[in-house]
Protein backbone atom coordinates (compact mmCIF):
# COMPACT_ATOMS: atom_id res chain seq x y z
CA UNK A 1 0.00 0.00 0.00
CA UNK A 2 1.38 3.48 -0.92
CA UNK A 3 2.13 5.65 2.09
CA UNK A 4 0.74 9.16 1.64
CA UNK A 5 2.71 11.91 3.34
CA UNK A 6 1.21 15.22 4.30
CA UNK A 7 2.74 18.69 4.41
CA UNK A 8 1.32 22.09 5.11
CA UNK A 9 2.99 23.67 2.08
CA UNK A 10 4.28 21.95 -1.04
CA UNK A 11 6.69 24.02 -3.13
CA UNK A 12 7.10 22.62 -6.63
CA UNK A 13 10.43 23.80 -7.97
CA UNK A 14 13.84 24.60 -6.53
CA UNK A 15 14.87 27.53 -8.70
CA UNK A 16 15.17 31.07 -7.32
CA UNK A 17 11.43 31.46 -6.82
CA UNK A 18 10.89 28.08 -5.18
CA UNK A 19 13.85 28.53 -2.84
CA UNK A 20 12.85 32.09 -1.91
CA UNK A 21 9.27 31.01 -1.22
CA UNK A 22 10.34 28.02 0.85
CA UNK A 23 12.74 30.08 2.95
CA UNK A 24 10.07 32.68 3.64
CA UNK A 25 7.40 30.10 4.46
CA UNK A 26 9.69 28.22 6.82
CA UNK A 27 10.55 31.44 8.56
CA UNK A 28 6.82 31.96 9.12
CA UNK A 29 6.72 28.55 10.78
CA UNK A 30 5.10 26.63 7.94
CA UNK A 31 5.94 22.99 7.48
CA UNK A 32 7.32 22.99 3.94
CA UNK A 33 8.31 20.33 1.43
CA UNK A 34 10.36 21.52 -1.57
CA UNK A 35 10.59 19.31 -4.65
CA UNK A 36 12.75 19.74 -7.76
CA UNK A 37 16.36 19.77 -8.80
CA UNK A 38 18.12 22.72 -7.14
CA UNK A 39 18.79 25.47 -9.68
CA UNK A 40 18.64 22.89 -12.47
CA UNK A 41 17.58 25.41 -15.14
CA UNK A 42 20.61 27.56 -14.34
CA UNK A 43 22.95 24.58 -14.20
CA UNK A 44 21.72 22.74 -17.28
CA UNK A 45 20.00 25.20 -19.58
CA UNK A 46 22.17 28.28 -19.41
CA UNK A 47 25.68 28.63 -20.84
CA UNK A 48 28.35 27.91 -18.27
CA UNK A 49 30.18 31.15 -19.06
CA UNK A 50 27.09 33.32 -19.06
CA UNK A 51 27.08 36.62 -17.20
CA UNK A 52 23.91 37.73 -15.45
CA UNK A 53 21.79 40.65 -16.49
CA UNK A 54 20.68 41.22 -12.93
CA UNK A 55 23.06 42.89 -10.54
CA UNK A 56 24.29 42.02 -7.05
CA UNK A 57 21.28 43.79 -5.53
CA UNK A 58 19.07 40.92 -6.80
CA UNK A 59 18.75 38.13 -4.27
CA UNK A 60 16.44 35.47 -2.89
CA UNK A 61 15.82 36.56 0.67
CA UNK A 62 12.54 38.29 1.44
CA UNK A 63 13.96 39.04 4.90
CA UNK A 64 16.90 40.87 3.27
CA UNK A 65 19.39 38.87 5.34
CA UNK A 66 20.93 36.23 3.11
CA UNK A 67 21.39 38.57 0.19
CA UNK A 68 23.88 38.41 -2.65
CA UNK A 69 25.61 41.42 -1.07
CA UNK A 70 25.91 39.54 2.24
CA UNK A 71 27.31 36.53 0.40
CA UNK A 72 29.91 38.67 -1.38
CA UNK A 73 30.84 40.49 1.83
CA UNK A 74 31.35 37.19 3.63
CA UNK A 75 33.79 36.18 0.92
CA UNK A 76 35.55 39.51 0.96
CA UNK A 77 34.45 40.27 -2.59
CA UNK A 78 33.69 43.75 -3.86
CA UNK A 79 30.47 43.81 -5.93
CA UNK A 80 32.18 46.11 -8.44
CA UNK A 81 34.77 43.39 -9.11
CA UNK A 82 32.17 40.78 -10.04
CA UNK A 83 29.96 42.84 -12.28
CA UNK A 84 28.41 41.49 -14.42
CA UNK A 85 28.00 38.47 -12.19
CA UNK A 86 29.22 35.17 -13.67
CA UNK A 87 26.59 32.44 -13.51
CA UNK A 88 28.99 30.21 -11.56
CA UNK A 89 29.09 32.80 -8.77
CA UNK A 90 25.31 33.10 -8.72
CA UNK A 91 25.05 29.33 -8.40
CA UNK A 92 27.42 29.45 -5.44
CA UNK A 93 25.22 32.13 -3.93
CA UNK A 94 22.16 29.90 -4.44
CA UNK A 95 23.86 27.02 -2.61
CA UNK A 96 24.94 29.38 0.17
CA UNK A 97 21.42 30.79 0.45
CA UNK A 98 19.90 27.32 0.63
CA UNK A 99 22.26 26.30 3.38
CA UNK A 100 21.91 29.53 5.38
CA UNK A 101 18.13 29.57 5.08
CA UNK A 102 17.93 25.88 5.96
CA UNK A 103 15.98 24.95 2.86
CA UNK A 104 16.19 21.25 2.11
CA UNK A 105 15.19 20.11 -1.35
CA UNK A 106 14.04 16.64 -2.26
CA UNK A 107 15.10 15.85 -5.79
CA UNK A 108 11.87 14.40 -7.04
CA UNK A 109 9.49 15.73 -9.66
CA UNK A 110 5.74 16.14 -9.51
CA UNK A 111 4.02 14.22 -12.29
CA UNK A 112 0.42 14.87 -11.35
CA UNK A 113 -1.41 17.30 -9.10
CA UNK A 114 -5.07 17.05 -8.21
CA UNK A 115 -7.37 18.46 -5.58
CA UNK A 116 -9.92 15.71 -5.03
CA UNK A 117 -11.46 16.75 -1.74
CA UNK A 118 -10.30 20.18 -0.71
CA UNK A 119 -6.63 19.43 -0.38
CA UNK A 120 -3.93 18.92 -2.94
CA UNK A 121 -2.59 15.52 -3.87
CA UNK A 122 0.68 15.22 -5.78
CA UNK A 123 2.02 12.09 -7.41
CA UNK A 124 5.78 12.15 -7.74
CA UNK A 125 8.03 10.56 -10.32
CA UNK A 126 9.36 8.18 -7.67
CA UNK A 127 5.83 6.96 -7.07
CA UNK A 128 5.51 8.77 -3.74
CA UNK A 129 2.27 10.58 -3.00
CA UNK A 130 2.07 13.78 -1.02
CA UNK A 131 -0.95 15.72 0.16
CA UNK A 132 -0.78 19.37 1.12
CA UNK A 133 -2.98 22.21 2.28
CA UNK A 134 -1.31 24.69 -0.06
CA UNK A 135 0.83 24.47 -3.19
CA UNK A 136 3.20 27.00 -4.66
CA UNK A 137 4.06 26.00 -8.22
CA UNK A 138 7.40 27.39 -9.38
CA UNK A 139 8.47 24.92 -12.05
CA UNK A 140 10.04 27.65 -14.19
CA UNK A 141 10.04 28.39 -17.88
CA UNK A 142 11.90 25.40 -19.30
CA UNK A 143 8.60 23.64 -19.98
CA UNK A 144 7.55 26.42 -22.35
CA UNK A 145 10.23 26.40 -25.03
CA UNK A 146 8.67 26.88 -28.46
CA UNK A 147 10.01 25.34 -31.63
CA UNK A 148 8.19 26.53 -34.76
CA UNK A 149 6.63 23.70 -36.70
CA UNK A 150 8.60 24.58 -39.86
CA UNK A 151 11.91 23.96 -38.07
CA UNK A 152 11.18 20.33 -37.37
CA UNK A 153 9.57 19.90 -40.78
CA UNK A 154 12.47 21.28 -42.79
CA UNK A 155 15.60 20.38 -40.83
CA UNK A 156 17.04 17.10 -39.65
CA UNK A 157 17.41 16.90 -35.84
CA UNK A 158 21.21 17.24 -35.97
CA UNK A 159 20.93 20.60 -37.78
CA UNK A 160 19.03 22.64 -35.24
CA UNK A 161 18.65 23.21 -31.55
CA UNK A 162 16.89 25.52 -29.11
CA UNK A 163 18.81 28.00 -26.96
CA UNK A 164 17.49 26.13 -23.92
CA UNK A 165 19.50 23.10 -25.01
CA UNK A 166 22.57 24.74 -26.52
CA UNK A 167 24.76 25.60 -23.57
CA UNK A 168 28.19 24.52 -24.80
CA UNK A 169 29.55 26.06 -27.93
CA UNK A 170 32.70 24.12 -28.80
CA UNK A 171 30.84 21.69 -31.03
CA UNK A 172 29.93 24.59 -33.33
CA UNK A 173 33.53 25.75 -33.67
CA UNK A 174 34.21 26.62 -37.30
CA UNK A 175 30.54 26.30 -38.28
CA UNK A 176 28.21 28.85 -39.83
CA UNK A 177 25.25 29.40 -37.52
CA UNK A 178 21.88 30.99 -38.16
CA UNK A 179 19.99 32.29 -35.13
CA UNK A 180 16.27 32.77 -35.68
CA UNK A 181 14.93 35.38 -33.30
CA UNK A 182 16.19 38.73 -32.20
CA UNK A 183 15.86 39.32 -28.50
CA UNK A 184 17.98 38.66 -25.44
CA UNK A 185 18.90 35.03 -26.03
CA UNK A 186 19.62 35.58 -29.73
CA UNK A 187 22.23 38.25 -29.13
CA UNK A 188 23.64 36.60 -26.04
CA UNK A 189 24.07 33.28 -27.84
CA UNK A 190 25.58 35.00 -30.88
CA UNK A 191 28.26 36.51 -28.65
CA UNK A 192 28.94 33.19 -26.95
CA UNK A 193 29.05 31.37 -30.28
CA UNK A 194 31.57 33.88 -31.61
CA UNK A 195 33.64 33.44 -28.46
CA UNK A 196 33.37 29.69 -28.94
CA UNK A 197 34.92 29.91 -32.40
CA UNK A 198 31.92 29.76 -34.76
CA UNK A 199 32.97 30.83 -38.26
CA UNK A 200 29.93 33.06 -38.82
CA UNK A 201 26.81 33.89 -36.88
CA UNK A 202 23.78 35.34 -38.65
CA UNK A 203 20.85 36.74 -36.68
CA UNK A 204 17.47 37.14 -38.34
CA UNK A 205 14.25 38.52 -36.95
CA UNK A 206 11.05 40.09 -38.12
CA UNK A 207 10.78 42.97 -35.67
CA UNK A 208 12.72 46.19 -35.49
CA UNK A 209 16.15 45.83 -33.96
CA UNK A 210 16.35 46.00 -30.19
CA UNK A 211 17.62 49.34 -28.93
CA UNK A 212 20.39 47.95 -26.71
CA UNK A 213 19.84 50.26 -23.80
CA UNK A 214 20.22 49.24 -20.17
CA UNK A 215 17.17 47.40 -18.93
CA UNK A 216 14.59 49.63 -17.32
CA UNK A 217 12.80 47.84 -14.47
CA UNK A 218 10.95 50.91 -13.19
CA UNK A 219 7.62 49.42 -14.23
CA UNK A 220 8.01 46.55 -11.72
CA UNK A 221 7.78 48.35 -8.38
CA UNK A 222 4.29 49.81 -8.81
CA UNK A 223 3.05 46.40 -9.94
CA UNK A 224 4.64 44.70 -6.92
CA UNK A 225 3.10 47.29 -4.58
CA UNK A 226 -0.27 46.70 -6.17
CA UNK A 227 0.15 42.94 -5.77
CA UNK A 228 0.85 43.33 -2.05
CA UNK A 229 -2.12 45.67 -1.68
CA UNK A 230 -4.56 43.67 -3.81
CA UNK A 231 -3.36 40.07 -4.15
CA UNK A 232 -4.28 38.56 -7.49
CA UNK A 233 -5.45 41.89 -8.97
CA UNK A 234 -4.29 40.82 -12.44
CA UNK A 235 -6.64 37.83 -12.46
CA UNK A 236 -9.65 40.12 -12.53
CA UNK A 237 -8.66 42.44 -15.35
CA UNK A 238 -10.99 42.61 -18.31
CA UNK A 239 -9.36 40.92 -21.33
CA UNK A 240 -8.19 44.12 -23.08
CA UNK A 241 -6.59 45.51 -19.93
CA UNK A 242 -4.95 42.18 -19.22
CA UNK A 243 -3.36 42.30 -22.64
CA UNK A 244 -2.00 45.78 -22.19
CA UNK A 245 -0.53 44.79 -18.82
CA UNK A 246 1.18 41.78 -20.35
CA UNK A 247 2.97 44.09 -22.75
CA UNK A 248 5.31 45.66 -20.23
CA UNK A 249 5.66 42.47 -18.25
CA UNK A 250 6.49 40.10 -21.03
CA UNK A 251 7.55 42.05 -24.03
CA UNK A 252 9.19 45.33 -23.27
CA UNK A 253 12.42 44.46 -21.60
CA UNK A 254 14.86 46.17 -23.88
CA UNK A 255 17.35 43.57 -24.96
CA UNK A 256 20.62 44.31 -23.27
CA UNK A 257 22.60 42.10 -25.54
CA UNK A 258 25.73 40.58 -24.15
CA UNK A 259 27.06 41.32 -27.63
CA UNK A 260 27.81 44.79 -26.38
CA UNK A 261 30.43 43.33 -24.09
CA UNK A 262 32.24 41.93 -27.12
CA UNK A 263 32.34 44.87 -29.50
CA UNK A 264 35.17 43.55 -31.62
CA UNK A 265 33.37 40.44 -32.71
CA UNK A 266 29.89 41.88 -32.87
CA UNK A 267 29.75 44.75 -35.24
CA UNK A 268 26.47 44.64 -37.11
CA UNK A 269 27.27 44.47 -40.81
CA UNK A 270 24.21 46.61 -41.39
CA UNK A 271 23.53 49.51 -39.14
CA UNK A 272 20.14 49.08 -37.51
CA UNK A 273 17.59 51.74 -38.41
CA UNK A 274 16.90 54.30 -35.67
CA UNK A 275 15.00 52.78 -32.77
CA UNK A 276 11.35 53.71 -32.45
CA UNK A 277 10.51 55.19 -29.12
CA UNK A 278 7.23 55.48 -27.36
CA UNK A 279 6.10 57.30 -24.30
CA UNK A 280 8.65 58.77 -21.97
CA UNK A 281 9.62 56.83 -18.89
CA UNK A 282 9.56 58.60 -15.53
CA UNK A 283 13.08 59.53 -14.64
CA UNK A 284 14.07 60.82 -18.02
CA UNK A 285 14.67 57.52 -19.84
CA UNK A 286 12.75 56.40 -22.86
CA UNK A 287 11.08 53.12 -23.49
CA UNK A 288 11.14 51.06 -26.63
CA UNK A 289 7.75 50.63 -28.22
CA UNK A 290 7.00 47.33 -29.81
CA UNK A 291 5.84 47.50 -33.42
CA UNK A 292 2.08 47.24 -33.89
CA UNK A 293 0.78 43.68 -33.78
CA UNK A 294 0.19 43.37 -37.51
CA UNK A 295 3.89 44.05 -38.09
CA UNK A 296 4.84 41.25 -35.76
CA UNK A 297 2.72 38.56 -37.37
CA UNK A 298 4.51 36.04 -39.56
CA UNK A 299 4.43 37.24 -43.12
CA UNK A 300 5.24 33.93 -44.72
CA UNK A 301 8.08 35.48 -46.69
CA UNK A 302 11.78 35.20 -46.00
CA UNK A 303 13.11 36.59 -42.76
CA UNK A 304 15.16 39.75 -43.00
CA UNK A 305 18.75 39.34 -41.97
CA UNK A 306 19.69 42.25 -39.77
CA UNK A 307 23.15 41.36 -38.64
CA UNK A 308 26.00 39.18 -39.62
CA UNK A 309 28.48 38.53 -36.86
CA UNK A 310 31.82 37.16 -37.91
CA UNK A 311 34.23 35.63 -35.47
C1 LIG B 1 19.49 33.05 -21.00
C2 LIG B 1 18.79 33.50 -19.74
C3 LIG B 1 19.40 34.45 -18.94
C4 LIG B 1 18.79 34.88 -17.78
N5 LIG B 1 19.41 35.80 -16.99
C6 LIG B 1 18.86 36.17 -15.82
C7 LIG B 1 19.52 37.09 -14.94
O8 LIG B 1 20.60 37.57 -15.22
N9 LIG B 1 18.91 37.38 -13.77
C10 LIG B 1 17.70 36.86 -13.41
O11 LIG B 1 17.21 37.16 -12.32
N12 LIG B 1 17.04 36.02 -14.24
C13 LIG B 1 17.59 35.66 -15.41
N14 LIG B 1 16.92 34.81 -16.25
C15 LIG B 1 15.56 34.41 -15.89
C16 LIG B 1 15.61 33.29 -14.87
O17 LIG B 1 16.19 32.16 -15.45
C18 LIG B 1 14.21 32.95 -14.43
O19 LIG B 1 13.52 34.13 -14.11
C20 LIG B 1 14.28 32.09 -13.20
O21 LIG B 1 15.10 30.96 -13.41
C22 LIG B 1 12.90 31.66 -12.83
O23 LIG B 1 13.06 31.01 -11.61
P24 LIG B 1 12.06 29.88 -11.19
O25 LIG B 1 12.40 29.54 -9.78
O26 LIG B 1 10.67 30.29 -11.48
O27 LIG B 1 12.32 28.64 -12.17
P28 LIG B 1 13.66 27.85 -12.65
O29 LIG B 1 14.91 28.56 -12.28
O30 LIG B 1 13.41 27.50 -14.04
O31 LIG B 1 13.56 26.55 -11.76
C32 LIG B 1 12.56 25.60 -11.97
C33 LIG B 1 12.64 24.57 -10.87
O34 LIG B 1 11.50 23.74 -10.95
C35 LIG B 1 11.89 22.39 -10.92
N36 LIG B 1 10.84 21.64 -11.61
C37 LIG B 1 10.48 21.71 -12.90
N38 LIG B 1 9.47 20.87 -13.15
C39 LIG B 1 9.18 20.27 -11.96
C40 LIG B 1 8.26 19.28 -11.55
N41 LIG B 1 7.39 18.73 -12.41
N42 LIG B 1 8.25 18.90 -10.26
C43 LIG B 1 9.12 19.44 -9.36
N44 LIG B 1 10.01 20.38 -9.69
C45 LIG B 1 10.05 20.78 -10.98
C46 LIG B 1 13.24 22.35 -11.57
O47 LIG B 1 13.95 21.17 -11.21
C48 LIG B 1 13.85 23.64 -10.98
O49 LIG B 1 14.34 23.38 -9.70
C50 LIG B 1 17.52 34.37 -17.42
C51 LIG B 1 16.91 33.40 -18.23
C52 LIG B 1 17.54 32.98 -19.38
C53 LIG B 1 16.86 31.94 -20.24
Do 266 and 208 reside in the same domain of the chain?
yes
**pLDDT score of 267:** 34
Do 13 and 80 reside in the same domain of the chain?
yes
Assigned domain for 235 exists: no
Assigned domain for 138 exists: yes
Q: Residue 52's domain spans which residues?
A: 4-142
Do 80 and 194 reside in the same domain of the chain?
no
Assigned domain for 64 exists: yes
Q: Whose CA is nearest to atom 11 of ligand 1?
A: 54
The widest CA-to-CA distance across the chain, in whole angstroms, is: 67
- Structural domain total, the chain: 2
**pLDDT score of 290:** 30
Do 157 and 73 reside in the same domain of the chain?
no
Distance 278 CA to ligand 1 centre (A): 31
Distance CA 130, CA 113 (A): 9
- For the chain, the residue count is 311
Assigned domain for 83 exists: yes
Distance CA 39, CA 45 (A): 10
**pLDDT score of 215:** 75
Assigned domain for 236 exists: no
Do 183 and 196 reside in the same domain of the chain?
yes
What digits encode the pLDDT tens for the residues 48-69? 888 998 899 999 999 999 999 9
**pLDDT score of 1:** 56
Q: SS3 for 214? A: coil
Do 53 and 169 reside in the same domain of the chain?
no
Q: Which of 7, 21, 41 to mutate to test the pocket of ligand 1 (most atoms within 8 A of CB)?
A: 41
Assigned domain for 244 exists: no
Q: State the pairing for strand pair 4-12/32-35.
A: parallel
Written as tens digits, the pLDDT of the chain (311 aa) is: 567 899 999 999 999 999 999 999 999 999 999 999 999 999 999 988 889 988 999 999 999 999 999 999 999 999 999 999 999 999 999 999 999 999 999 999 999 999 998 899 999 999 999 999 999 999 998 888 888 899 999 999 999 999 999 999 988 999 999 999 998 889 989 999 999 999 999 999 999 888 888 778 899 999 999 999 998 898 888 876 555 444 333 333 333 222 323 333 333 333 333 322 222 223 322 232 333 333 333 333 333 444 555 54
Instruction: Determine contact, residues 144/17, Cβ cutoff 8 Å.
Output: no
Distance CA 285, CA 272 (A): 20
Inter-CA distances, 166 with 44, 66, 192, Å: 9, 32, 11
Last residue of a domain, one of 142, 170, 201: 142
Do 55 and 120 reside in the same domain of the chain?
yes
Kindly tell me the sign of the dihedral angle through the C-alpha atoms of 195, 196, 197, 202.
Answer: negative
Assigned domain for 293 exists: yes
Q: Which residues does a 6 A CB cutoff place in the pocket of ligand 1?
A: 12-18, 35-37, 40-42, 46, 52-54, 58, 109-110, 138-142, 185, 188
Atom index in ligand 1 nearest the CA of residue 184 equals 1
Three-state secondary structure of 74-107: HCCCCHHHHCCCEHHHHHHHHHHHHHHHCCCEEC
Inter-CA distances, 234 with 139, 140, 224, 230, Å: 20, 20, 11, 9
144-174 per-residue burial string, b: 16 or more CB within 10 A, e: under 16: eeeeeeeeeeeeeeeeeeebbebbebeebee
Atom index in ligand 1 nearest the CA of residue 18 equals 25
304, 303, 306: which is closest to 150 by C-alpha?
Answer: 303
Do 210 and 277 reside in the same domain of the chain?
yes
Last residue of a domain, one of 142, 169, 202: 142
Instruction: Determine contact, residues 36/13, Cβ cutoff 8 Å.
Output: yes
Q: Whose CA is nearest to atom 44 of ligand 1?
A: 36
Kindly tell me the sign of the dihedral angle through the C-alpha atoms of 52, 55, 58, 60.
Answer: positive
Do 132 and 54 reside in the same domain of the chain?
yes
Assigned domain for 106 exists: yes
Last residue of a domain, one of 142, 162, 196: 142
**pLDDT score of 211:** 82
Do 114 and 195 reside in the same domain of the chain?
no
**pLDDT score of 2:** 67
Amino acid sequence: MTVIEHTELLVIGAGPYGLATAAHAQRQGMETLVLGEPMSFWRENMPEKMKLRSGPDWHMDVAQKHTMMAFLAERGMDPADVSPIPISLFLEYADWFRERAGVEVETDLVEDLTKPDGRFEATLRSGRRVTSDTVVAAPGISHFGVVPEWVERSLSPDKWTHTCDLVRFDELRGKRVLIVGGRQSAFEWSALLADGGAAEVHVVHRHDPPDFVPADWSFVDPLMDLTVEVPGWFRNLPPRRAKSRRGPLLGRRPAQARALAHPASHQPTRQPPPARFGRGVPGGGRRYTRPPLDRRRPRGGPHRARYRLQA
